[in-house]
Amino acid sequence: MTTVPYARVPRSSALFLDFLNNFERVNSFYDRRPFEPSAYMAAATELRGKFGDRRALVDILEAQNRTFRCSEKTLENIRRLISPDTFAVVTGQQVGLVSGPAFTLYKALTAVRLAEHLTEKGLACVPVFWLATEDHDLEEVAAAKTLDDEYNLVQLKDPGQAPAPRAPVGRIRLTATITEILKRLEDLTPPGEPRDRLMADLGASYQPGETWGNAFARLMAQLFAPWGVVLLDPLDEAVHRLARPVYERALREAEPVRRRLLARSEALVRAGYHAQVHIADDSTTLFLFCDGSRQPVTFRDGTFFVDDAKPISASLLQEQVQSNPFNFTPNALLRPVVQDTLLPTVAYVAGAAELAYFGQALALYEPLGNRPQPVVFPRAGFTLVDRRIERLMEKYGATVEDAWKGEEQLSNKVASNGFSAGWAERLERSEKELGEMLEGLQKEVAAIDPTLVDSVGHARDKMLYQVGRLKGKIARATLERSELLARHEQSLARFLAPAKSLQEREVSGIYFLGRAGYGLLERLLEAIRTDSCEHHVMVY
């Protein structure tokens, strides 16, 4: 296994990179360092005096997880939360079809690993997975992607049966299409024990008429049974009753909250980062269910509006929160506060985008949650490599970074190592000699007329650029002459960077489990570090 620093991983934001490598630059947005053990102890100490009704929490979790057919290990972890000395390492994700992209599994495993590590260090923790069932974007969870024998992406989609437009995905029901999807998955997976076990668990979880939330939860309960991952579904009236005080404060302080978020967003931008969530002039942090549809609550000129159309008084909204908090759901920035009002959270495992959300959301913990901020811990990332791809990588000297850099880089590697003509080496040698010659010329020109130095530099850059283009053209021409090399280059690109993206964001985790078996989860878990974070490249 090798690792790649995130500075070399595509689309890693400046905020994410500084969070990992230069925390002092972002410590005005995040209270606690993720790789510092004392940060977790401090969070736990602050939380002990502020967390409320553990018995109510345990009752909710036990009822939900029994519905999800959880393991005895999960029930043990839930009961451990009764103790004021036991805390939660939380993560979460949208309830994607048949588990969603592979990084969903990596998030859960990171929470398991961090909880185990903290427990070993004397801080008792259990892993908790927050099911994002309240989200209303069905398109984001309706499809799963796998690969065929030639590593082409295959999309499998259930249109879903929604009770209303913008309904929370947790309430949307699977259609008869799910039966066809499972059959297609079985056909695409090589026969053997891994396929048999996976298909049995998928079939027991994903059935026509089942809700998206329950199907996802039942599969996750099976996958993570050995570690007792506790699942929490916020689409539960009992959960919303516990969250009611947060909703009340969010309504009462709507304008101060908006100003606070706007100030935090502006501070992020001034520091050279980005604000993940746009703060509009009339935004609040709440949604309201209207006839089954999840609609944003806005605030203008002292009046609240639902779906930008229906004015509603603050007093009426407060009455609704009191009588039926289940009608309210938090937005992406309030959700962490609600989550950590319900759970004794010392750490949240976040992806890069979520980490940016937290850079804004942590500003709300004091005014709305009266809770200490958790440690935000970056989830592990993986690119998995099967034996066939491993052989091709070795044959052509290709790396996952070559695939990330695009077609030209990968073509160069495959073509230059696939033929013995030596053209790539000669071009590289010529490129080096040209660069050295022009560098020498630049020094000579500087002695004659310093004003011409920039002109020589521009000329050098243009010449070297053209040499680079020539290398790419020769590589493509070489591949076109060899069907085998072209096929190998395509296999590497499709598998390592499907759709020109990170593998973990495109390919479902079940693709790998159906080939390597559930033991792969243990191997991934063992690879996760708690003292640093780099992208793992692992052969399975």
Tens-digit pLDDT profile for residues 216-248: 999 999 999 999 999 999 999 999 999 999 999
Round to the nearest angstrom and report the end-to-end CA distance of the chain: 10
Q: Structure tokens of 440?
A: 């020498």
Position 420 pLDDT exceeds 60 = no
Q: In whole angstroms, give the CA distance from residue 229 to residue 225.
A: 7
User: The tokens of 190 are what?
Assistant: 């090589």
**What does pTM read for this prediction?**
0.89
- The yes-or-no verdict on residue 426 having pLDDT over 90 is no
- Count Cβ atoms within 10 A of the Cβ of residue 103 and give its class: 0-12 exposed, 13-18 middle, 19 or more buried: buried
CA-based radius of gyration for the chain: 26
Mean predicted confidence (pLDDT) in 65-76 = 99
**pLDDT at residue 361 tops 90:** yes
pLDDT-derived band at 299 (thresholds 50, 70, 90) equals: very high
What are the distances in angstroms from CA 405 to CA 411, 486, 493, 497? Answer: 11, 17, 10, 9
Task: Give all strands of the β-sheet with 124-131 in edge-to-edge order.
Answer: 230-232, 124-131, 86-93, 345-350, 375-378
b/e burial code for range 361-387 (CB count within 10 A of at least 16 → b):
bbbbbeebbebbbbbbbbbbbbbbbee
Orientation of helix 177-188 relative to helix 193-205, angle to 10°: 170
What is the number of other CB atoms lying within 10 angstroms of the CB of residue 432?
A: 11
3-state SS, one letter per residue, for 457-475:
HHHHHHHHHHHHHHHHHHH
Structure tokens at 521: 């989860």
Tallying the residues shown for the chain, one arrives at 540
Q: Provide the pLDDT confidence category of residue 422 given band limits of 50, 70 and 90.
A: low
> Which band of pLDDT confidence, cut at 50, 70 and 90, is reported for residue 457?
confident
With b for 16 or more beta-carbon neighbours within 10 A and e for fewer, the 503-528 pattern comes to bbebbbbbbbbbbbbbebbeebbeeb
Q: Which helix (H) or strand (E) holds 324?
A: none
Collect all residues with Cβ–Cβ distance below 8 Å to 91 and sequence separation of at least 6.
107, 108, 110, 111, 127, 128, 129, 130, 348, 349, 350, 379
Q: In this structure, is the dihedral angle defined by the CA atoms of residues 326, 330, 334 and 335, taken in order, positive or negative? A: positive
**Rounded average pLDDT over 428-443:** 76
* Better-predicted residue by pLDDT, 259 or 432: 259
Residue carrying the six token digits 């052969």: 539
Both tokens of residue 518?
A: 């559930």
The C-alpha atoms of residue 217 and residue 315 are separated, in whole angstroms, by: 37
Per-residue pLDDT of 6-53, as tens digits, reads 999 999 999 999 999 999 999 999 999 999 999 999 999 999 978 878
- Percent pLDDT > 70 in the chain is 96
Reply yes or no on whether the pLDDT at 368 is more than 60: yes
Domain residues of the chain, as ranges? 2-239+334-383, 240-330, 388-501
Q: For 283-287, what is the mean pLDDT?
A: 97
392: tokens are 């091709």
- The C-alpha angle with vertex 526 and arms to 405 and 5, in degrees rounded to 5, equals 25
Give the other-Cβ count within 10 Å of 421's Cβ.
12
Mean pLDDT of 134-148: 96
Helix (H), strand (E) counts: the chain: 22, 15
Q: How far is CA 529 from CA 34, 114, 398, 401, in A?
A: 12, 8, 26, 21
CB 166 within 8 A of CB 293: yes
